[in-house]
Amino acid sequence: MRVHLQAPLVLLKRLGMLLLLLTLLRWIFFWTYRSSFPELDPGQFFWITLQGLRFDAMTIVVANALWIVLSLVPLPWSEKKAWQRTLAVLFVVANAALLVVCCLDLPYYGFNGKRLTSDVLGQTGAGFRELPGMLLRYWWATVIFLVLLVVVIRAARRGFKQQSGGFAARLGIFLVTGGLLFLVGRGGWQYQGLSPAHAADHSAPAWAPLVTNSAFTLGYSLTEPPLRQRTWFTAEELDRLMPLRYEIRSDSVKPKPNVILLIVESMGREYLGSLNSNAGYFPFMDSLCAHSLVLTNAYANAERSNKSMCSILAGIPSFTDDAFMNTAYAGNPVEGLGTRMKEMGYSTAFFHGGINGEYKFDSFTKACGFDRYHGKDEFGDDQHYDDHWGIYDEEFLQWSAERLEELPQPFCSAVFTLSSHDPFVIPERYRGKFPTGGQEIHESLGYTDMSLRRFFDEVRTHPWFANSVFVITGDHTFQYNEHPPWYTNPAGRFSVPIIFYAPDGRFTGRDERVAQHLDIVPSILDVVGYQGSVNTFGQSTFQRDRPNRAMIHLGGQYRLIEDDRLLLFDGEQAIGLYDYLGDTLCEQDLRASEAERTKQMTDEMKAATQRHAAALLRNSMAAR
């Protein structure tokens, strides 16, 4: 019998080696992003490592399933050297792919704040273009991968024992070992297979990314449907908890103002000195805030540009891992800002100096009613190309100001900057001209702020400027490097300003109530005197006739921010309730002490996910 057990024991030894490698990667991941997690004492760290073994073991078994079966199944040629070499190659290929995913996410997590999911496939074009630069900038992740790959290759070269003995004994060992590994491959004997939601079963939700691994979350997202139709509430209950139809009955505005929506790459709230009592990195934007209405407790609805665009321009919550324009529902009509503005006689245009077709911005903005698209191709001068994402902000914003002059009035335009995007390239002549701090992004923020100042200096000279409304926000935040604690908790990492500015001074003061990107479309329509119904999950910040809230989805976890409370929801139930303003690190779970508030916010989040899924599945996102 001991001879019979040699093969499964060697197989388990190889799997155990892989388990150690993934555990090592978890420790490296924690060390890299330790400031993003609450303080951990040694006992808690050990417990989280222990919980992570469950996810790692499942990942390893699934990734090596074919190799496991072929290693154990009693085949007549099992002991031939050619077969042994085949198994070795299969082992290396499967685990090289596993390690690539895990090592790739070591730097990538810093940009999304979540473990890798299938949405990364929607960024393959830009990803391949930027890959050489990323391998150099994050050389340490490349080195880690190569070292671990050498370990895997050495293990493969040592060969794999095959079973000997009679067919019946070999078959029995195959069935027993295979059965046990099947149990590991589904994550245990619980009713449903392991999912990212289980990461919070035995540890705080804030540590969920530390419990899972990137290969697991990527694989899970590839096998799960993006939307599930829910039946928690009746139609009447949905209309009470999360109405979609929204009435805007604002007073008629004459003459209709021009609207310029400025979306600033990675402009998190933390970078504005006027909102943080420090110098900040946007001196011009701070000066503009002094003459504007500033929503100081506003949030992006997503962690990435293409997902945020869906919320800002079309009022679509980001409740899927990938952006709306990359889902099967991208052909559905949407409640686009441009579409509604054109109903009121506005001409529409979208400006982004990026590569035409990148992230499908051109197609999506047209779906949102923006008739003219101005990108890198339209700019037409590659001497100002940054060799990464598009045209430098200064030149493109100056060019955009000239194009705005050509639009028939009234016009509605959206202008999206790009220079403050990793790798934060600015023109050589500006190197060392702007403040730098502890984050890689800081210098590029100063450059973008200067570019915005020059843009405003230019548009102030045009006759249309006096009768214009500017709405300014960041598309999302930047979470790589060190940040103040408030800006790393589940609410704070989505904090962006929303600013309303008009030369005639109609907007002033600060509004500290919760707001979100989803409020931008109805707010603009309210400002220009729109009268009618739209479908939206937001509200006009000038009416405030719905609960003040922000709804966010990140890595399988939903976040609902209302007043001074933050609810974490895993898609089925609440997994945390926090006073995110007073309890900055979100360490004190209030679910037990505030059961009624927990139920109220849970019902709202359930209603939002049910409403969102139904609207996309039934093609009813746009009002008819």
What is the tens place of the pLDDT at every residue in 504-560?
999 999 999 999 999 999 999 999 999 999 999 999 999 999 999 999 998 888 999
Same domain, 63 and 211: yes
- pLDDT beyond 60 at 461: yes
The band of 159, judged by pLDDT with boundaries at 50, 70 and 90, is: low
First to last CA, the chain: 72
Same domain, 267 and 400: yes
Same domain, 184 and 300: no
Taken as a whole, the chain contains a residue count of 624
Which is more confident, 8 or 484? Answer: 484
Same domain, 297 and 400: yes
Mean pLDDT (the chain) is: 87
Per-residue pLDDT, averaged over 21-34, amounts to 89
What is the tens place of the pLDDT at every residue in 220-268?
777 766 678 889 999 999 999 999 999 998 888 789 999 999 999 999 9
Per-residue pLDDT, averaged over 348-370, amounts to 91
- Residue 615 in any domain: the answer is no
- pLDDT beyond 60 at 5: no
Per-residue pLDDT, averaged over 126-149, amounts to 80
- Quick count: other Cβ atoms within 10 Å of Cβ 396? 28
Same domain, 256 and 111: no
- Residue 170 in any domain: the answer is yes
Same domain, 219 and 300: no
- pLDDT beyond 60 at 192: no
d(CA 123, CA 529): 38
- Residue 624 in any domain: the answer is no
Which is more confident, 226 or 577? Answer: 577
d(CA 478, CA 172): 54
Looking at residue 129, its pLDDT comes to 64
Per-residue pLDDT, averaged over 405-416, amounts to 97
**Least trusted range by pLDDT, from 23-37, 466-480, 550-564, 570-584:** 23-37
Looking at residue 1, its pLDDT comes to 42
**Least trusted range by pLDDT, from 184-198, 308-322, 570-584, 606-620:** 184-198
Same domain, 427 and 523: yes
Same domain, 193 and 274: no
Looking at residue 174, its pLDDT comes to 58
Q: Are 357 and 591 in contact (CB under 8 A)?
A: no
Look at residues 505, 522, 549 and tell me which one is the last residue of a structural domain. 549
Most confident of 9-18, 131-140, 298-307, 449-458: 449-458
Same domain, 254 and 117: no
Pairing of strands 372-374, 468-474: unpaired
Looking at residue 123, its pLDDT comes to 62
- Helices in 33-64 by DSSP H: which ranges? 42-63
Q: What is the DSSP string of 122-156?
A: GGHHHHHHHHHHHHHHTHHHHHHHHHHHHHHHHHH
Residue 472 DSSP SS3: strand
Residue whose entry in the numeric block shows the structure tokens 């059961």: 595
- Residue 233 in any domain: the answer is no
Per-residue pLDDT, averaged over 370-396, amounts to 95
- Phi/psi at 562 (5° precision): -140, 125
Number of domains in the chain: 2
- Residue 616 in any domain: the answer is no
Which is more confident, 76 or 189? Answer: 76
Look at residues 503, 533, 549 and tell me which one is the last residue of a structural domain. 549
**Least trusted range by pLDDT, from 150-164, 316-330, 603-617:** 150-164
- Residue 590 in any domain: the answer is no
Looking at residue 253, its pLDDT comes to 79
Same domain, 204 and 284: no
Which is more confident, 176 or 226? Answer: 226
Looking at residue 400, its pLDDT comes to 98
Q: Which domain holds residue 266?
A: 250-549
d(CA 553, CA 560): 9
Which is more confident, 6 or 238? Answer: 238
- Phi/psi at 498 (5° precision): -125, 120
- pLDDT beyond 90 at 109: no
**Least trusted range by pLDDT, from 104-108, 274-278, 307-311:** 104-108
Same domain, 254 and 304: yes
- pLDDT beyond 90 at 566: yes
The band of 185, judged by pLDDT with boundaries at 50, 70 and 90, is: low
Look at residues 502, 530, 549 and tell me which one is the last residue of a structural domain. 549
In the DSSP assignment, the letter for residue 579 is: -
Looking at residue 345, its pLDDT comes to 95
Per-residue pLDDT, averaged over 189-206, amounts to 63
CATH of the domain at 336: 3.40.720.10
- Residue 562 in any domain: the answer is no
Looking at residue 191, its pLDDT comes to 45
The band of 62, judged by pLDDT with boundaries at 50, 70 and 90, is: confident
- Residue 617 in any domain: the answer is no
Residues facing 558 on adjacent strands: 553, 569
**Least trusted range by pLDDT, from 122-126, 141-145, 235-239:** 122-126
Share of the chain above pLDDT 70, in %: 87
In the DSSP assignment, the letter for residue 332 is: S
- pLDDT beyond 60 at 167: no
Looking at residue 468, its pLDDT comes to 97
Same domain, 341 and 477: yes
Give the relative orientation of helices 305-314 and 520-527 as an angle to the nearest 10 degrees: 40
Per-residue pLDDT, averaged over 49-62, amounts to 86
Give burial (CB, 10 Å; 0-12/13-18/19+) of 223.
exposed
The band of 599, judged by pLDDT with boundaries at 50, 70 and 90, is: very high
Which candidate, 543, 475, 461, 501, places its Cα nearest to that of 257? Answer: 501
- Helices in 207-347 by DSSP H: which ranges? 208-211, 214-223, 235-241, 283-289, 305-314, 337-343
**Least trusted range by pLDDT, from 216-230, 462-476, 479-493:** 216-230
